[in-house]
């Protein structure tokens, strides 16, 4: 499982509890996204059961690695951010 780097200075952190009772959070490393939008994102991630340990294999690979982050992009306002989804943390970074 990959080590999650610490949040950036000035990051906004919203914490809650995942569907399985484990602590989870959204970290906005840019510190620029409105708190209400981050809270809504966290609720949606919990409701859709995105938190927890999952096994992923790279395309064409025979190896499965538990807890590897998933990557996607999200838009808030006019800005696009990179989202890394770790087992119990969603991290938003500048794109």
- What is this structure's pTM? 0.82
Residues 48-65: what's their mean pLDDT? Answer: 66
Per-domain residue ranges for the chain?
A: 12-94
- Alpha-carbon distance of 58 to 71, in angstroms, equals 12
- Alpha-carbon distance of 88 to 90, in angstroms, equals 7
Quote the pLDDT of residue 26.
Answer: 97
E strands of 1-95, at which residues? 12-17, 23-28, 55-56, 65-66, 70-76, 79-86, 89-94
Distance of CA 34 to the CA centre of its chain: 16
Per-residue tokens: 71: 């990557």
Quote the pLDDT of residue 68.
Answer: 61
């Amino acid at each position: 499982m990959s080590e999650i780097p610490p949040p950036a200075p000035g990051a906004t952190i919203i914490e809650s509890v995942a569907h399985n009772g484990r602590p989870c959070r959204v970290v906005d490393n840019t510190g620029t996204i409105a708190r209400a939008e981050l809270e809504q994102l966290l609720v949606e991630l919990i409701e859709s059961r995105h938190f927890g340990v999952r096994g992923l294999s790279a395309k064409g690979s025979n190896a499965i690695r538990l807890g590897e982050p998933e990557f996607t992009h999200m838009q808030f306002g006019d800005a696009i951010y990179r989202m890394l989804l770790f087992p119990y943390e969603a991290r938003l970074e500048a794109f």
